[in-house]
Amino acid sequence: MGEEQRVSWPELLATSREGFDGGTDFTLAVEEEFALLDPATLELTDRFEEVYAAAIETDLAPNVVGELIASEVEVRTGKCADFGEAAAAMAERRSQIQAVARELQIGLGGTGTHPFSDWRDQRIIDTPHYRRNDEILRYVVWRNNTFGMHVHVGIAGADRAIAVHDALRNFLPELLALSASSPFVEGVNSGLHSARTEVFTRMFPRCGIPDAYGSWQGWEDYVAFLYRSGSITEHTQIWWSVRPHLAYPTIEIRICDGQPDLAESQSLAALCYALAARCARAHDEGEPITVLPHRLLEENMWRAIRWGLSGELLDLERSQPVPARQRIEQLIEWVAPVAEEIGAAAYLRVPDQNAAERQIARFDAGANLKDIYAEQVRAEEPIGG
């Protein structure tokens, strides 16, 4: 179930560089994580093994994997040549996993956190990979009952891929603000728009906004340091919110909360994809993109965690606050020409309310957490479901 092939790290680095240098621009794949729920109580339920056993008897088989806890499942589009293919695959995967879950009488949740299930009650799935993480991380991994969306974008050229990675760091707070879907966790209104980000990126090592590497050699030196020092034993223990992937020639964007709504998930994936392509275009044409320091990006990251789309983000080059919606609209305008070329433009939009805002509005109107979550679970149902 998604186990990493064990190879030496020097071989892994060499093979990865070769993969990027021989890679194809702007392929993509999307991964979405969903909570497995008792349909009556909406509590998390440890039934991944049943879901997986049922799924491997269907067309979903190559595209379903486990993800840490037994009350979670991940579905993947697989490698797609363009965004239209990816958007269709996202819809198909959701429909497929819904069909499997419905047959087993299991609900699916798509928000970044579960609003009230206790992390102490969740079981880590029994694979070598997750057993190792449990042994290494302990409380950190136990608490990580979170659900996200990851977007892989193919970038040709090893140094070029690092240039795209370094540029994408700047936009992680905007992507988080747009995707925020997790105001509730552990039975409370956290006061945040993305409690998931606090649980995951603030607790895990090598997580959140990475440094810029400057070149493939800078990235390779960092990975070699981690292996030589015994800090990691496999490359998947590098959890940064954007990372060059060492098994595929892609840059993986990992900052986003899970999405209850398919159309919003597609739109978010389209923006991730278009931003990566736009950064590659800027690199190719010599258009400068300032590599912003971590300490400044952290200011915007906090704003995205706390206020999401409802707050302000800083224009860091001008040191001026800008409404988050306006800032994302500016990004959509910036990527528009490339987005049109790669088939993503029609999906780009800023919603009137994102998932966090909708849930907070319902809470402020007096709804309880179970009723609010039930509405998000219903949003997962495919049309006609």
CATH number, domain of 280, equals 3.30.590.20
- Mean pLDDT on 4-32: 92
Q: Is 317 within the bounds of a domain?
A: yes
- Mean pLDDT on 220-224: 98
Check if the beta carbon of residue 157 is closer than 8 Å to that of residue 283.
no
pLDDT of residue 304: 98
pLDDT of residue 205: 94
The proportion of the chain whose per-residue pLDDT surpasses 90, expressed as a percent, equals: 90
Which of the four pLDDT bands, split at 50, 70 and 90, describes residue 127? confident
Cα angle 294, 296, 302 (rounded to 5 degrees) comes to 95
Instruction: List C-alpha distances in Å: 192 to 45, 54, 90, 180.
Output: 25, 37, 28, 9
Using DSSP bridges, classify how beta strands 107-109 and 28-37 pair: parallel, antiparallel or unpaired.
antiparallel
Which of the four pLDDT bands, split at 50, 70 and 90, describes residue 4? very low
pLDDT of residue 379: 72
Using DSSP bridges, classify how beta strands 28-37 and 69-76 pair: parallel, antiparallel or unpaired.
antiparallel
pLDDT of residue 183: 98
Q: Is the dihedral of CA 323, 324, 327, 332 positive or negative?
A: negative
Q: Is 4 within the bounds of a domain?
A: no
Q: Is 3 within the bounds of a domain?
A: no
pLDDT of residue 2: 41
* Residue 167: count of CB within 10 angstroms of its CB: 25
Q: Which domain holds residue 150?
A: 9-379
Which of the four pLDDT bands, split at 50, 70 and 90, describes residue 297? very high
pLDDT tops 90 at residue 232: yes
pTM of the model: 0.95
Instruction: List C-alpha distances in Å: 308 to 179, 181, 327.
Output: 8, 9, 12
Could you report the per-residue pLDDT of 355-365, keeping only the tens digit for each?
A: 999 999 999 99
pLDDT tops 70 at residue 383: no
**Start-to-end CA span in the chain (Å):** 28
Using DSSP bridges, classify how beta strands 184-185 and 107-109 pair: parallel, antiparallel or unpaired.
unpaired
Check if the beta carbon of residue 247 is closer than 8 Å to that of residue 195.
no
Q: Is 186 within the bounds of a domain?
A: yes
pLDDT of residue 1: 39
Cα angle 153, 283, 81 (rounded to 5 degrees) comes to 25
pLDDT of residue 320: 94
Q: Is 385 within the bounds of a domain?
A: no
In the DSSP assignment, the letter for residue 5 is: P
Q: Is 384 within the bounds of a domain?
A: no
pLDDT tops 80 at residue 115: yes
- Mean pLDDT on 208-223: 98
Work out how many domains the chain is built from and give that number: 1
- Mean pLDDT on 78-92: 97
